[in-house]
Amino acid sequence: MATYKSRGLRGSTFEEFINKTNEVYAENGLALIQKIPTPITPIDMDNKGHITLAYFDQKSTVDYVGAIQGIPVCFDAKECNKDTFPLQNIHEHQVNFMGNWEAQDGLAFILIFFSERDVYYYLTFEKLKEFWDRMQEGGRKSFRIEELDEKYFFTTKPNLLVPYLDMINIDLSSRT
């Protein structure tokens, strides 16, 4: 079973950037997005009461849920330091949850930070499902940065570390 010590802080800076962006969006009445904590059970604690080792109680769904101007959204945040993203970083129960979310007329996506290139990517659920199905059918267990649609790459803006609302607008406009 995975432990907090081995996986818990991976991507924490990226998630902190998303959290700060979500605060700005909330302050401006643009969105209300909440970080979903992963339930853990502490195993070891130091003398100050800080958890030093824990295990994950259950499978989580996604990192964030909320609403953006009346649209229910859920998304996960992933970080990748190479140009190839391994699909093992996404779990089947997450894909199923996101699929069910979309079936309820919600919007599901994954935000990926390609740290080596210092760029962000908005992966639509539709594209995720395409990669996922390819893997399930015996194809590649990853996708390359070259396979991604250029219109969904983005960078920081003043006061917005991870400005993903622009990408949501592109995603929504491509659906109609």
In CATH terms, is domain 4-175 a member of 3.40.1350.10?
yes
Residue 7: CB atoms within 10 Å: 11
- 69: annotated binding-site residue? no
Angle at 142 between CA 136 and CA 145, to 5 degrees: 135
Average pLDDT over residues 73-89: 94
- 118: annotated binding-site residue? no
What is the torsional sign of CA 135, 141, 147, 152? positive
- 46: annotated binding-site residue? no
**Whole-number percent of the chain with pLDDT over 90:** 73
Which residue ranges make up each domain of the chain? Answer: 4-175
pLDDT confidence band for 173 (50 / 70 / 90): very high
pLDDT confidence band for 43 (50 / 70 / 90): low
As a whole number of angstroms, the distance between CA 82 and CA 117 comes to 8
Pairing of strands 107-114, 71-80: parallel
- 76: annotated binding-site residue? yes
pLDDT tens figures, 90-130: 999 999 999 999 999 999 999 999 999 999 999 999 999 99
pLDDT of residue 3: 40
pLDDT of residue 10: 45
Q: Does the pLDDT of residue 56 top 70, yes or no?
A: no
Which pTM was predicted?
A: 0.83
